[in-house]
Structure 1
């Protein structure tokens, strides 16, 4: 009886504890593996330290197919060799926490992490797509730092401006809004979170280029500082692959407008 109790207790622990060898569910195998899991092994070991304490919650079953659909569409915007050389796995999750904050996405040396809680909680296809593009742009920026001159980038800002300390700090200070803010456009920023770090500023432009939002191009055409940054981001991607020309990114906006129409 005692032995049976121990086995039953272990089974119950495995079913109820989110950190004991939870199986991964593969949502897509290619062009890049897309997986959902709540196992902490999906994170780099350093992220399991008390100061970071990364945690994941497995994707709800109702969001598996929508996640597969949108991420497959998103990855088709990149040449296969770019994905293969710079991305190992995309983890799509119901919740993502680290450093005391709840995040919609992040990235590591090998992977990208994206949250999808469904459109009822405002996790629309467009939101998930822009999150992926932003996080993947961070990986590319780390992998190809020689393709962006930070000093030239900073010259597009007002001379007295200085970036903040980190994105996490901005979230904790409730300065992480990612909605277009016309009051910031003349200063060279699309929204408040872009002012947190140069990387997040770069992300803000990259995500809009790939998202294909015609509103973004209206802002670019009206504000010189944002135009200068947009030109730098396009040049960065064009050095990675010639496919990423200005006409390519403009065509994404044209396709998006045609689909809406």
Structure 2
């Protein structure tokens, strides 16, 4: 891990969270896909402030130092964990040729992401240019198989949000796949993709499935 964080205490806390998060990944996954994780005090992408990003070419993650902000420590830890799983999922998608058509088929015929209709949607969303009344409610999102508003921006960001919940909130994911058929189907696609990369991911999904597949019959 490389840092440009000014506060050494902040850096040490970030390292602790990163180490815990990385422990959920088989060693071969980290060795074959990543060289470095950078912890930085400032991070922008396309002119917008972001919490994390990645470089396939440099095999690197870039993570914002959240400990510099005066939020509750538990909240910072959870957000940093989510960020890591979010960015690593993008790296795995790109390096292992994730089948985006299969992901879309799990959502259902006729579904469109907002970016399919408006290529500027993500740019406007992350800059808060979209009025609140234009945003979907949480229930509407879940019924469509989306875990949060950001997931509407496209397949990769949708997939990223599943990584956040599957790795960071297994109890919540268990409830979601029980209540929402589309989420159950997308979870199955996510699970099969990760296990195809490395069977060592099995313990992650066992926390959700209880050691056996609860939703195999939910795929079309």
Given candidates 180, 201, 209, the residue that maps to 1:223 is: 180
Given candidates 218, 241, 257, the residue that maps to 2:198 is: 241
Between the aligned partners of 2:50 and 2:80, the Cα distance in structure 1 is 12
Alignment of 1:89-104 (within 5 A): 89-104=36-51
Higher RCO structure (Cα 8 Å, ≥6 apart): 2
Contact 1:134-1:206 within 8 A present in 2 as well:
yes
Aligned match of 2:23: 76
Give the structure with the higher percent helix.
2
Contact 1:90-1:112 within 8 A present in 2 as well:
yes
Alignment of 1:198-217 (within 5 A): 198-217=155-174
Q: Which runs of no fewer than 5 residues in structure 1 stay unpaired?
A: 1-33, 38-57, 255-261
Between the aligned partners of 2:47 and 2:200, the Cα distance in structure 1 is 39
Deviation of 1:243 after TM superposition, in Å, equals: 1.7
Deviation of 1:210 after TM superposition, in Å, equals: 1.2
Aligned match of 1:197: 154
Q: Which runs of no fewer than 5 residues in structure 2 stay unpaired?
A: 211-220
Contact 1:182-1:190 within 8 A present in 2 as well:
no
* Per-residue CA distance 1:196-222 (angstroms, 9 max, x = gap): 010001111112111134122211210
| SS class of match (2:43) | strand
Aligned match of 1:172: 127
TM-score scaled to structure 1, two decimals? 0.68
Contact 2:141-2:149 within 8 A present in 1 as well:
yes
Query: Does residue 20 of structure 2 align to residue 63 of structure 1?
Result: no
Aligned match of 1:128: 80
Given candidates 102, 105, 108, the residue that maps to 1:155 is: 105
TM-score scaled to structure 2, two decimals? 0.79
Aligned match of 1:251: 207
Between the aligned partners of 2:161 and 2:181, the Cα distance in structure 1 is 16
Between the aligned partners of 2:7 and 2:154, the Cα distance in structure 1 is 32
Q: Which has the larger radius of gyration?
A: 1
Q: Aligned residue pairs: how many?
A: 195
Between the aligned partners of 2:66 and 2:195, the Cα distance in structure 1 is 33
